[in-house]
């Protein structure tokens, strides 16, 4: 039995570009353009899911994906820190930030810990391993990192060493018994820039 899971990271927002903890902001215009450029690169899927956040749903729509919302794909709940910048929180709550950075079970913001996201994602992967065919899931960097760590059997401490770009693609395969990481960090092609009035030779 061949099982395939393609995870697409939701596009960036104006807030995430500024280093703020995500809230529920819309996609920035550039991310919409980049997502539309990806439409022809995606293979047919047997099922398509999206996280409930606005930016994830807008990413799925821009990709022309008819996706169903799955709460298991939700981004990490940042609680009271949602919408605030890292620097702002660090200045006001340095001890809480330090705990959050070093302890996977810490929840100083009152939301979800990294361990919570890892358990939720592991449950999703365990459920999907029995789903024959190809699933596309539009989700978030926190969930994709957790999925990679789950498949590799790696410690949660390695999470900060995995960089997941907005609109990047991570691909997993399974024979119904175990998952393997097929590809990660595949990025969207950049739209071609229009030529200037003097043409390609610049003369």
**pLDDT per position as a tens digit, 42-57:** 888 999 999 999 999 9
**pLDDT per position as a tens digit, 88-143:** 999 999 999 999 999 999 999 999 999 999 999 999 999 999 889 999 999 999 99
Contact criterion met (CB below 8 Å) for 146 and 72:
no
Strand partners for 134: 4
d(CA 23, CA 153): 30
Contact criterion met (CB below 8 Å) for 4 and 172:
yes
Model confidence at 82: pLDDT above 50: yes
Q: Is 147 left (phi over 0), alpha (psi -120 to 50) or beta?
A: alpha
Residues 6+ positions from 59 with CB-CB distance below 8 Å: 8, 10, 11, 27, 31, 35, 50, 138, 167
pTM for the full model?
0.90
Phi, psi torsion values for 76, nearest 5 degrees: -60, 130
Give me the domains of the chain, ranges plus CATH numbers: 3-186 (3.40.50.1240)
Residues shown for the chain: 203
pLDDT of residue 122: 97
Model confidence at 200: pLDDT above 50: no
d(CA 73, CA 162): 18
Angle in degrees, CA 146, 36, 9, rounded to 5: 5
């Amino acid at each position: 039995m061949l099982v395939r899971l393609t995870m697409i990271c939701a596009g960036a927002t104006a807030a995430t570009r500024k280093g703020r903890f995500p809230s529920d902001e819309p996609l920035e215009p550039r991310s919409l353009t980049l997502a539309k450029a990806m439409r022809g690169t995606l293979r047919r899927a047997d099922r398509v899911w999206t996280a409930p956040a606005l930016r994830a749903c807008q990413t799925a729509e821009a990709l022309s994906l008819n996706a169903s919302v799955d709460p298991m794909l939700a981004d990490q709940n940042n609680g009271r820190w949602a919408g605030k910048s890292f620097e702002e929180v660090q200045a006001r709550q340095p001890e809480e930030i330090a705990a959050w950075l070093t302890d996977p079970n810490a929840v100083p913001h009152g939301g979800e810990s990294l361990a919570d996201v890892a358990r939720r994602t592991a449950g999703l992967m365990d459920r999907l391993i029995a789903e024959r065919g190809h699933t596309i899931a539009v989700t978030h960097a926190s969930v994709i990192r957790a999925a990679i760590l789950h498949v590799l059997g790696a410690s949660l401490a390695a999470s900060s060493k995995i960089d997941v770009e907005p609109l990047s693609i991570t691909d997993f395969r399974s024979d119904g018994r175990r998952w393997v990481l097929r590809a990660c960090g595949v990025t969207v092609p950049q739209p071609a820039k229009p030529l200037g009035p003097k043409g390609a030779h610049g003369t």
